[in-house]
Every structure is written in C-alpha cells, then in structure tokens.
C-alpha cells in the first residue's frame, strides 16, 4: 500500500508539471490557434534563471524570482512583437498547420541555445520556496516542494478555467480563437489578447519551473520533453480546456509512475509514449478531431 501511495504522489507531482504546461498550452491555443511548444523552455528559464541569480549574482531569493519572472515576461513580449505580430497582425509569414507548430518551435530552439550559452550544461535547481524535510503521513512520504507543485497546478488550472468560463474577458479571449474576424467586429483586440495571454502563460510556466526545480533540477534540455507531454495533455483536453488539461496531465503522470513502479523502471517512458501514441492514432476524437471514415 505504501508503495502505491508513494508512486501515486510521485506520479501526481510529475503529472502536475504536464498538467500545468497543458493548461498554459490550452489557454493560448484557445486564443490564437497556435501551440506554444516553448512553454517548457520558459519553465526551464524560470528554474535555472532564478538559481543563477541567487547563486551566481547573489540576489536574495524573492528578488531573484521577481527579476527572473520579469525577464521571462520581457522575452515573451519581445517574441510576440518581433515574430507573432508580424505573422498574425501584419499577415506575413507561414500560415496553416506550419504556423501552428513552427513559430514557437523556433523560439524553443533559441531559448535552449541561449540557456546553454549562459548557464552551461549543468543541472540547476532553484532554492525551495517551502524548505524543510519531507512530510510523512502513515507510510508514505511527500516532499514539501511536491505538495507545492500539485497545489500550484490545481489552483492555476482552476483559475484559468474560471477566467475563461466566468469572465467577459475570458469569453472575449475564446472568441479570438473561434473567429478572428468575428471578434474584431465587436471591438475585441485579438493582438492584445494573444500577447498578454502568451506573456501570462510564459510567466506562469516560469513560476512553475521555480516551484518544481528543487525536486528534479533543470538543464537547458529539460524543456522540450515536458513541452511535448504538456502538448499531449492539452490535446486530450481538445486544446481548449485548461482545467481538463491539468486533470489529464495528472493522470499521465500517475500512469507513468505506476508503469515505472509495477512494470519496468527502465521502459516506463517508452510504454507511456507508446500508450499515448496509440490513443491518438486509434482515438483521435479525444483530441476533438474525428478519425477519417474508412
């Protein structure tokens, strides 16, 4: 039983990462129909940047967090101004499914390269926001950072869900993704929603990286794989439902953990990817995309 509970907690912790990235992806896709494949890299910059500012630049922890998040927000704003504004507001550049993937794909490559140049190939971990020993309940143990990670994911997912569901601004954001033309005729500024939600989700991902990094550490390469699983989690939420993306991310994490604990610790990732692959291929309708008729 204790093994099951420990695996469950470990799975929820890693799943929270997938879930929050899935939620960030789902919200932004809902606004502009573009996937943010750099969301994991923003988390990486959050974690490594804060660690560097505290350890190398000597900033106090809170100041390091603030400076780091401001830097991530600035980078996101810059990318929107230089690339996305040109592509979507000025009508230049590649469109269609190429545009869905490759703008942020390019950003991800740049962020990885910059991180490697600035921070090297070491593993970095920011100081824990909630320091202290692991908490023990009966036979299972949970890191304080793990509780924070799960809590932040759930709260963020609920907050994003509530924003889209209950506020006028959230409805307007949804309208941007449903019909660009239709939203402009009622005076909604598509560009503003796209920009601010991109910045907001980038900062949220960075904050999450700070919260999570004491558990596992980040390298410059940490972003892409997490982004990919987050994309899958968002996909299973039809790329529209951040709350559901968090739930699915948590489920993926638990499945990954259980496969590792009860099937194979070496091949658990392989089995997970194969499982996800199979679901997408044989049941694409879970992505809100129906399979072609035979």
Site residues (vs another protein, CB under 8 A): 83, 86-87, 92-94, 96-103, 105-114, 116-117, 166-169, 171-172, 174-175, 178-179, 181-189, 224-225, 228, 231-232, 235, 240, 266-267, 269-270, 273-274, 276-277, 280-282, 284, 287, 289-292, 294
Which residues, in sequence order, are CB contacts of 102 under 8 Å at separation 6+? 94
Nearer to another protein, 3 or 179 (CB): 179
Nearer to another protein, 148 or 276 (CB): 276
Closest separation between CB of residue 61 and another protein, Å?
29
Nearer to another protein, 145 or 256 (CB): 256
Closest separation between CB of residue 36 and another protein, Å?
14
C-alpha closest to that of 157 among 55, 268, 76, 234: 234
Closest separation between CB of residue 35 and another protein, Å?
9
Question: Ramachandran region of residue 35, left (φ > 0), alpha (ψ -120 to 50) or beta?
Answer: beta
Closest separation between CB of residue 228 and another protein, Å?
6
C-alpha closest to that of 194 among 79, 272, 291, 273: 79
Closest separation between CB of residue 156 and another protein, Å?
21
Q: Are 234 and 245 in contact (CB under 8 A)?
A: yes
DSSP secondary-structure letter at 130? Answer: S
Nearer to another protein, 137 or 186 (CB): 186
Distance CA 113, CA 221 (A): 9
C-alpha closest to that of 269 among 251, 281, 255: 255
Distance CA 230, CA 232 (A): 5
Nearer to another protein, 8 or 176 (CB): 176
């Amino acid at each position: 039983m204790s093994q099951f509970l420990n695996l469950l907690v470990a799975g929820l912790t890693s799943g929270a990462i997938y879930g929050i990235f899935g939620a960030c992806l789902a919200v932004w896709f809902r606004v502009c129909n573009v996937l943010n494949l750099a969301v994991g890299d923003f988390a990486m910059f959050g974690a490594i940047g804060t660690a560097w500012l505290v350890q190398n630049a000597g900033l106090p922890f809170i100041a390091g967090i603030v400076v780091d998040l401001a830097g991530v927000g600035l980078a996101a704003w810059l990318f929107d101004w230089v690339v996305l504004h040109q592509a979507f507001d000025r009508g230049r550049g590649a469109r269609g499914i190429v545009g869905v993937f490759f703008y942020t794909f390019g950003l991800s490559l740049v962020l990885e390269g910059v991180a490697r140049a600035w921070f090297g190939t070491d593993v970095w971990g920011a100081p824990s926001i909630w320091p202290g020993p692991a908490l023990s309940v009966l036979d299972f143990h949970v890191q304080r950072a793990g509780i924070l990670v799960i809590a932040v994911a759930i709260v963020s997912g609920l907050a994003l869900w509530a924003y889209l569901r209950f506020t006028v601004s959230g409805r307007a954001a949804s309208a941007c993704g449903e019909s660009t033309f239709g939203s402009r005729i009622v005076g909604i500024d598509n560009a503003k929603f796209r920009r601010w939600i991109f910045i907001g989700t980038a900062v949220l991902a960075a904050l999450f990286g700070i919260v999570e990094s004491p558990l596992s550490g980040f390298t410059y390469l940490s972003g892409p794989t997490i982004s990919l699983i987050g994309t899958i989690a968002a996909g299973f939420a039809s790329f529209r439902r951040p709350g559901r993306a968090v739930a699915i991310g948590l489920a993926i994490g638990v499945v990954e953990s259980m496969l590792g604990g009860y099937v194979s610790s070496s091949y658990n990732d392989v089995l997970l990817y194969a499982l996800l692959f199979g679901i997408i291929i044989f049941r694409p309708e879970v992505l809100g995309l129906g399979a072609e008729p035979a």
